A and B are shown apart, each in its own frame.
Chain A
Amino acid sequence: MKRLFLITIIIYCTAFAGCNKLLDIDSSHAVSEENFWNSHEDTRTALVSVYGLLRAAMADNNAWWMYGEFRKGDFYATQRQDMKAIIRNDLKAAYPLLESLSNWRRFYAVINATNMFLEHVGEVRERDPKYSEQNMRVDIAQMRCIRAYVYFFLVSVWGDVPLITSSHDGEFANKPREDKQTILAFVEKELVQSAADLPYKYSSNDPQQLGSYYNETSTRWYGVLARKHTAYAILAHVAAWQGKYVDASVYGQFVLDNYSKGGSYYVNTDELVSGNGFFKWKKDNHILAFNFDWGHVDASFSGHLEEMTLAEPVINKALPDIYVPKDTILSVFDQPVDERFSLDTLTGTPTSQRYFSNFNSQIPIFTKIKVIQDGNTSDPSFRIFSSTIVITRLENIALLQAEALAVIGEQQRAIDLLNTIRDLRRIKRYDSVREGDLIDAIFRERRKELMGEGWRWFDLIRYNKIKQNDPAFMELIAKGGIYWPVAEDVIKQNPLITQNPYWQ
């Protein structure tokens, strides 16, 4: 009996020693701290996640258009009450969509991911000899560039926002909102510095990035990552937003002088509107864009303008969520033989329907962007899309440069740039006698060219800041009504955050 007892005790003791081993199993769907930041595969994964998170932030609830296109814009909502509220700038209306859009969390996730990357990339450099100095430098520059862009976007949507430049991992501290000027100064500095280290292309033996980037060919990286001219394009937007048009013209000029090194070119109208064209998948011609590449099984139901704009007969959907009313179309596309859209004034039938189909029905369908399924099909049955969220492109920068030059008084250069775009769309060159003010003409052109690309609202703000002739809008600017309210959820979890005064 005694022996039995002893044996049992011994067995139990060995079991106890071994049992901690039994309990030590790794999760199969989360990576722990010690298993990350060890190799160049980890930096690639982390780098990709930053772009992926930013794509998610822009695609979530179609945020890119909700923030930039619809407010007081050209689109009109057919039935959706929440979108009607956004269009009339009633951003406190009690709809889940609006509550969700007023939460900035997803953008800060991108910022935190970049901060984490910047803090840990050195560890990988130490641990993995395959991770080269140059690779690290380019990666760091990308992270800084993307972080700066996100801050710029945050400022243009919410005004003052907290400025957080380190991850504070594990020791998170609440931060108050920072003045937008401070943030934009930080953005500008970061962009200028990161631009120096960025290449024009990846895996193309650019002096800043020799050899193949992460062992992939250049096709894999077409237009996917931030490049030198991306940083300058954002700089031009940042400066213009602040009204610093002299700076904007310098940055813009850099893009216009160097775009071809990055594989950009002026895109013709047919390519622009084709399902197989500019908005399809990834392209070097996208200066900054987030793709949903069909080949990578990335096509999705949401996160595309098509989800809201397309309907019968283009896809199976009775009515679009939003459309541009006929009157608006006619007043905006007032130039004859505009390749985007124009109406034969005699017969009343459209001569070009590249932007709009079904013009003669009560609800025209906005078909500028229509990458249905893989983009090669006219099959209306399945509403999955693979169009890219294009943040900015060459035509946008050209018109922005025209705007900057016009404001700083370089009229002729501005007119030349405006005409570059007008030639591209086959409309008559600018004629100051017939069309009046140059700045008006430039903004009219932007309105047409960038319709449905998420810029209309920001253009309206810049236009009114220049013109200052709409008292209602000026009051909106003065009182902060141009910004989004901050979500209640955000204010609750961080007492240092205050609501935008306009929305209190």
Chain B
Amino acid sequence: MRVLVRIFITCLAVYCSQFAFGQDTVKLHYPVVRVTKADSISPERENIYPYSSLHQLLKGNTAGVYIQEPTGESGAFTSMALRGSAIPYITSKDIYESQPTVVLDGIPLIMDHPFTFDIQLFGYNHLGPATNLLSAIDPNNIEKIEVVKDFGRAALYGPRAANGGVILITTKAPVIGRRKISFNTYFGMVQRPHVYTTNSKFENDFRQQFYNKYATTEQMQTYPLYLRDSTNNAYYGPSNWTDLYFKNTPVYGVNASLSSGTDRANFRFAAGNQRSANTADNSNMDRYNAMFEINMVPLQGFTVSSMISATRLERKRSRWLRDRFAEMQYLPDLSSPLPPNKTYYGQYLHEYTKSFDDNKTNEVNGYFKLNVKLGDSWDITSQFGFDYNEGLRDLFYPSTLLETVNYLSNYFGYNQRVFFNNTISYNHTWKGKHRVNVEVGEGFQADYHRYNYAYAYKGPNDLIRVNLLNSDNTKPEYLLPKSFDHALIFTFLDKQRSRLLSFHGRAAYSYNEQLDFSVLFRADGSSSAQPDNWWLYTPTFTAGLNIKNTWLKDNNSINALKLQASWGRVGRLMPDDRFGEGPQYTSDLSFSNNPVRFSYNGFPGISRAYSSGYIGYGITWPYTDQLNINATTALLNNKVQISLDVYNKTDHNMLLGVPFGAEYGYNIRYKNGMAVRNRGIDLAVNATVLPAKSALQWVPGITVNYNRNTLLALPDGLDELSVANGSKLLKVGNSIDQYWVLENDGIYNRDADIPVSPGEGKRLNYKGIPLLAGDPRWKDQNGDHVIDDKDKVLKGHVSPVISGGFNNDFYWKGFTLGVSFYYTLGRKVMNAEVANHFDFINREGKIDMSAVKEITFWSKAGNYDKYPLYNPWSTVDAYRLDQDLFLENGSFLKLRNLSLQYDLTKAKWWNKKGKINGLAVYGTATNLFTITPYTGGDPELVDFNGFDTGYSLPLSRTYTIGLKMDL
């Protein structure tokens, strides 16, 4: 594959000049000042950066889009939120449900379904390659990206717009009347960061403070071996693991496209290859993509167009012990962590040469579209399209990596969407003033998700890495495994089907470019809803007033001023086909450490869904209402452009698992009734600061989103509900993304300091456990002399209250200097990495995930001196995470991108009559610096809980140089 793409690109490079020879050419117009609109991004400005996903391209570029990268690893799962999330993140599944739909040329892209988490003991990663499917989009092929948040437009996409709107991607259209060949290529380096490393000496000194202060003789005896022996060079020697862990790594990208045609038939073909990489842990990703688009007009008014695009992503993943153990669902003895010394760490890494971990994702999508225009008024469009992506992971860990137990696993999963849309619209303008547009449409979308997954332990040796089956069908052992023990082979298969059928009618009227109104009605039927409730009927209304055209025609300082308001409702699809079944039976025989028991005594066992939750009859569609008011203006000769949106988005009738019926065996019951409001402002301002005649131009642009999230109601009229094993509280009137913590107020140094209730003489206790000297001084908020959940308060936000970007473009002669900042405000981060470090007593001598120490354990980020020395043996769990001791301000400002471009065609010596229409060289630098009050690592890299767990590869500095050429 890789070789083929290379050969192809080389061929293209050699022959392209001949293609171009003798053709009519049109000068490509490079505008001096590019102005981006509030909600759309022109990738021309962005395609010089080595982005590895659509998320990275969107980050900080449009107001109201918040991108949460949990790690800097290329192609790793990344989430986004449009105008905040309405779904509380209780498990990792919830993030998948809250992702907005990306629509590529009318194809609503299908994403991974989170149902693999059902068979996973640990929810860190989706099964299989877990590659970010939006990494498949090549920015070089994109004409524009629009983030449509206003339901006035987004409601046309129905339930697909429920997560705050849709993201529309339009690919570059073929050129007409000439041939155009474009190249864009870059090469760069990812720079290794500096890390403060530690060894056992450091760790020993750190722990001795606690041992000296609190330990009993018995507790002294269980001091870990790797800290005990100071002559052990592996742990006490130099800590230089970073030499092997971090590497300066090359990255590159090549993209070429060819487009040609007449107004009757034209095409565009593009191909590209990109290598993105992280400096840490030898992780990287390769993208190979090809795309072909044609338009044909066989008859006047009849257009046939078609597009097909294929991408392959190959990912080399980071090698966290946690992820390996989670994949194996098995942990070895953890009493000796990886040593910080390079020699020993190198020996460990060497064992990986015997392993393989192939992560491949293939994605194909395309459409076929017919458009008939009858006269000036009638327009009929019919589009058929599909999106298919498949993930494959082949994995083998040799026995030398884990106590002589080797491991083999294979995953194949695919997501498939087929859709069919038809619309008829009628357009007419009376007397040049009254314009009417009426449209009716129908859409059908069928989704299918499926995976096969199998894993096996303890193969006979490390040379047999495939589970071979006996192939002789005459023998009794036919299809039984040849070398692996059948009792240690586990296989799984699951599938999800869902269908969405929609009808809509829309009528719009506008008067003389001054006033406009529209109304949209739609009916959506979902197969995941219950049969008596398949259909949901929703309206959307819009109204607009062009103030400039109506009252300010003669005002020269105001060039444009428009007001637009919309109110709309769209349904939210239910995340799982189980909801359509009502009361149901399923397999529920699993228990701790064994998430995948379906049978007993070799027979399947099926019962009510006790653990996964009761689903009764009468579950109805959740839906979202949004009021959006937009004001757009251009002032001072279009020098300042402002777009301001005020929105009020409320999700009603949402499903939530409510604890219920423990005496009937149930964990939770799903009920409608949760309502969440996101209310805020999106603001985008662009300005051209310097006079038009100046040779130097400066165009600053700022985007701001301010979002306030409020929980309005819970099912059953509940006021509050603790979720996620009691680690989160949903409380009406508060946000759904708040931390629920005890407030720290120092330490009790002496037993005598512990307050005693005046009446009963009861000593302050934590849920019945008396507090002692060395325990944290937690605020007893309700003054009942018991510290418990009632004393926990909701603090801070996981998602930022204010976020956005600040971009500056400087133009001088042929040079363009781009400086992009990215910022968030009003966001907190739980420094779980430090908390876990202090909680070492509960993280030794166990075989579970909390006791896993990665190689990054031997590094230090943050200031340990600012935390009190609690008694780590205390049964109140002094260094617990649900206290504000580790909660920090996670606001930041980053200089994310810096670029310098020189357009050679602007040079005086440039031969304007030559064959080359465009030629630009550029250099970029990304992730240059961060300003933040946060004391730990990078405040941006946190998980969905807002926890900085330390499980992230850094967003490293990357430097590239590149070349763009148009022929």
A residues contacting B by CB (< 8 A) are 1, 8, 12, 15-16, 19-20, 22-33, 36, 42, 44-46, 48-53, 55-57, 59-61, 78-81, 85, 90, 92-96, 99-100, 103-106, 108-113, 116, 162, 164, 167-170, 172, 174-175, 220-221, 224, 282, 291, 293-303, 316-319, 374, 381-384, 488-490, 492-494, 497, 503-504
B578-594 CB contacts (< 8 Å) to partner A: 578, 580-594
State which of B529, B531, B665, B725 has its C-beta within 8 Å of the C-beta of A105.
B665
Check A105–B667 contact: CB distance below 8 A: yes
Interface flags for B96-125 (1: CB within 8 Å of A; 0: not) read: 000000000000000000010010000000
Determine the chain A residues whose CB is within 8 A of the CB of B722 once the complex forms: 492
Check B458–A382 contact: CB distance below 8 A: yes
Q: Which of B84-92, B288-296, B486-494, B855-863 is found at the contact surface with chain A?
A: B486-494
Check B602–A293 contact: CB distance below 8 A: yes
A61 to B591, CA, bound (A): 8
Measured CB to CB, the closest approach of chain B to A19, in angstroms, equals: 5
State which of A33, A93, A302 has its C-beta within 8 Å of the C-beta of B592.
A302
Determine the chain A residues whose CB is within 8 A of the CB of B499 once the complex forms: 22-23, 25
Check A293–B601 contact: CB distance below 8 A: yes
- Given A32-B583, A318-B336, 4 more A-B residue pairs with CB atoms under 8 Å apart are A45-B606, A108-B664, A296-B601, A494-B663
State which of A80, A221, A318, A489 has its C-beta within 8 Å of the C-beta of B333.
A318
For this complex, 21 residue pairs linking A to B, each with C-beta atoms less than 8 Å apart, are A27-B578, A27-B584, A29-B494, A29-B578, A31-B581, A56-B597, A79-B222, A92-B769, A93-B769, A94-B766, A105-B662, A109-B607, A109-B665, A112-B665, A168-B664, A169-B608, A172-B660, A293-B602, A303-B591, A374-B485, A492-B659
Flag whether B873 is at the interface (Cβ < 8 A).
yes
Check B768–A303 contact: CB distance below 8 A: no
B434-470 CB contacts (< 8 Å) to partner A: 440, 442, 444, 457-458
Flag whether B844 is at the interface (Cβ < 8 A).
yes
Check A49–B458 contact: CB distance below 8 A: no
Determine the chain B residues whose CB is within 8 A of the CB of A504 once the complex forms: 768
Check B662–A493 contact: CB distance below 8 A: yes
Determine the chain A residues whose CB is within 8 A of the CB of B660 once the complex forms: 172, 493
Measured CB to CB, the closest approach of chain B to A463, in angstroms, equals: 28
Check A27–B606 contact: CB distance below 8 A: no
A28-B497, A52-B597, A55-B589 are known contacts. Are A94 and B335 too (CB-CB below 8 A)?
no
Check B845–A282 contact: CB distance below 8 A: no
Check B725–A96 contact: CB distance below 8 A: yes
Q: Which of B609-617, B820-828, B893-901 is found at the contact surface with chain A?
A: B609-617
A24-B527, A316-B332 are known contacts. Are A294 and B487 too (CB-CB below 8 A)?
yes
Q: Considering only CB atoms and an 8 Å cut-off, how many residues of chain B contact the other chain?
A: 103
Determine the chain A residues whose CB is within 8 A of the CB of B193 once the complex forms: none
Determine the chain A residues whose CB is within 8 A of the CB of B225 once the complex forms: 318
Measured CB to CB, the closest approach of chain A to B727, in angstroms, equals: 10
Determine the chain A residues whose CB is within 8 A of the CB of B378 once the complex forms: 1
Name which residue of chain B comes closest to A27, CB basis. Answer: B577
Closest 8 CB pairs of A and B: A109-B665, A79-B845, A49-B605, A302-B593, A52-B600, A52-B589, A60-B591, A296-B602
Name which residue of chain B comes closest to A51, CB basis. Answer: B600
State which of B332, B525, B599 has its C-beta within 8 Å of the C-beta of A19.
B525
Check B659–A174 contact: CB distance below 8 A: no
Flag whether B323 is at the interface (Cβ < 8 A).
no
Check A32–B768 contact: CB distance below 8 A: no
State which of B335, B336, B577, B583 has its C-beta within 8 Å of the C-beta of A25.
B577
Measured CB to CB, the closest approach of chain B to A299, in angstroms, equals: 6
Measured CB to CB, the closest approach of chain A to B327, in angstroms, equals: 14
A42 to B585, CA, bound (A): 11
A383 to B593, CA, bound (A): 13
A46-B606, A49-B606, A94-B766 are known contacts. Are A170 and B503 too (CB-CB below 8 A)?
no
Name which residue of chain A comes closest to B404, CB basis. Answer: A381
Flag whether B904 is at the interface (Cβ < 8 A).
no
Check A25–B610 contact: CB distance below 8 A: no
Check A51–B875 contact: CB distance below 8 A: no
Check B584–A30 contact: CB distance below 8 A: yes
B825-862 CB contacts (< 8 Å) to partner A: 841-842, 844-847
Determine the chain A residues whose CB is within 8 A of the CB of B601 once the complex forms: 48, 51, 220-221, 224, 282, 291, 293, 296
Determine the chain A residues whose CB is within 8 A of the CB of B616 once the complex forms: 170
Flag whether B483 is at the interface (Cβ < 8 A).
no
Check A170–B488 contact: CB distance below 8 A: no
Flag whether B330 is at the interface (Cβ < 8 A).
yes
Measured CB to CB, the closest approach of chain A to B576, in angstroms, equals: 8
A95-B877, A301-B593 are known contacts. Are A319 and B600 too (CB-CB below 8 A)?
no
Check B594–A489 contact: CB distance below 8 A: no
A32 to B584, CA, bound (A): 5
Check B600–A20 contact: CB distance below 8 A: no
Determine the chain B residues whose CB is within 8 A of the CB of A503 once the complex forms: 768
Check A303–B594 contact: CB distance below 8 A: yes
Name which residue of chain A comes closest to B586, CB basis. Answer: A30
A79 to B850, CA, bound (A): 14
Determine the chain A residues whose CB is within 8 A of the CB of B549 once the complex forms: none
Check B531–A24 contact: CB distance below 8 A: yes
Flag whether B321 is at the interface (Cβ < 8 A).
no
Name which residue of chain A comes closest to B489, CB basis. Answer: A297
Determine the chain A residues whose CB is within 8 A of the CB of B725 once the complex forms: 96
Check B659–A113 contact: CB distance below 8 A: no
Check B769–A374 contact: CB distance below 8 A: no
A504 to B765, CA, bound (A): 12
A28-B496, A52-B589, A94-B875 are known contacts. Are A162 and B663 too (CB-CB below 8 A)?
yes
Flag whether B476 is at the interface (Cβ < 8 A).
no
Interface flags for B518-530 (1: CB within 8 Å of A; 0: not) read: 0000000111010
Check A28–B577 contact: CB distance below 8 A: yes
A349 to B604, CA, bound (A): 49
Check A19–B592 contact: CB distance below 8 A: no
A279 to B663, CA, bound (A): 32
A60 to B602, CA, bound (A): 20
A23-B501, A27-B577, A317-B333 are known contacts. Are A45 and B604 too (CB-CB below 8 A)?
yes
State which of A51, A94, A374 has its C-beta within 8 Å of the C-beta of B605.
A51
Check A164–B846 contact: CB distance below 8 A: no
State which of B487, B503, B580, B666 has its C-beta within 8 Å of the C-beta of A27.
B580
A48-B601, A382-B405 are known contacts. Are A78 and B663 too (CB-CB below 8 A)?
no
Determine the chain B residues whose CB is within 8 A of the CB of A49 once the complex forms: 587-589, 600, 605-607
**Central interface residue in B490, B594, B877, by most chain A CB within 10 Å:** B594
Flag whether B265 is at the interface (Cβ < 8 A).
no
Measured CB to CB, the closest approach of chain A to B326, in angstroms, equals: 13
Check A48–B599 contact: CB distance below 8 A: yes
Determine the chain A residues whose CB is within 8 A of the CB of B609 once the complex forms: 30
A37 to B822, CA, bound (A): 59
Measured CB to CB, the closest approach of chain B to A220, in angstroms, equals: 7
Determine the chain A residues whose CB is within 8 A of the CB of B604 once the complex forms: 45, 48
Determine the chain B residues whose CB is within 8 A of the CB of A94 once the complex forms: 766-767, 769, 875-877, 880
A30-B585, A293-B602 are known contacts. Are A78 and B767 too (CB-CB below 8 A)?
no
A31-B584, A52-B599, A95-B877 are known contacts. Are A112 and B525 too (CB-CB below 8 A)?
no
Check A20–B534 contact: CB distance below 8 A: yes
Determine the chain B residues whose CB is within 8 A of the CB of A92 once the complex forms: 767-769
Determine the chain B residues whose CB is within 8 A of the CB of A105 once the complex forms: 610, 662, 665-667
A22-B501, A28-B577 are known contacts. Are A78 and B222 too (CB-CB below 8 A)?
yes
Flag whether B495 is at the interface (Cβ < 8 A).
yes
Name which residue of chain B comes closest to A486, CB basis. Answer: B662
A303 to B593, CA, bound (A): 9
B629-683 CB contacts (< 8 Å) to partner A: 659-667
Check B606–A36 contact: CB distance below 8 A: yes
Determine the chain A residues whose CB is within 8 A of the CB of B486 once the complex forms: 297
State which of A53, A172, A383 has its C-beta within 8 Å of the C-beta of B588.
A53
**Central interface residue in A44, A90, A105, by most chain B CB within 10 Å:** A105
Determine the chain B residues whose CB is within 8 A of the CB of A78 once the complex forms: 222, 845
A30-B585, A105-B610 are known contacts. Are A44 and B603 too (CB-CB below 8 A)?
yes
Check A25–B527 contact: CB distance below 8 A: yes
